[in-house]
Amino acid sequence: MILITGGSGQLGTSLRRALQDYPDEVLAPPHVELDITAPAQVSAFFREKKPDAVLHCAAFNAVDTAEEHPALCCRTNILGTQLLAQECRRTGAYLLSISSDFVFDGKKTGAYETGDAKHPLSIYGYSKSVAEDIVLQSDARNTVLRISWLFGRSPTNFVEAILQAAERRPLLDVVSDQIGCPTYADDLASLLLELLRQRPAGIFHAANEGCCSRAAFAEKILQLSGSGAAVRAVSSAEYPSKAHRPRNSVLSKASLDAAGLRRLPPWEDALARYFSQRKGR
Contacts for 33 with CB less than 8 Å, ≥ 6 apart: none
Cβ contact 101:249 at 8 Å: yes
Catalytic machinery residues:
124
Cβ count near 241 (within 10 Å): 12
The per-residue b/e assignment along 205-215, b for 16 or more CB within 10 angstroms, e otherwise, is: bbbbeebbbbb
DSSP the chain: -EEEESTTSHHHHHHHHHTTT-SS-EE---TTT--TT-HHHHHHHHHHH--SEEEE------HHHHHH-HHHHHIIIIIHHHHHHHHHHHHT-EEEEEEEGGGS-S--SSPBPTTSPP---SHHHHHHHHHHHHHHHH-TT-EEEEE-SEE-SSTTSHHHHHHHHHHH-SEEEEESS-EE--EEHHHHHHHHHHHHHH---EEEE--EES-EEHHHHHHHHHHHHT---EEEEE-GGGS--SS---SB--B--HHHHHTTPPPEEEHHHHHHHHHHHHHT-
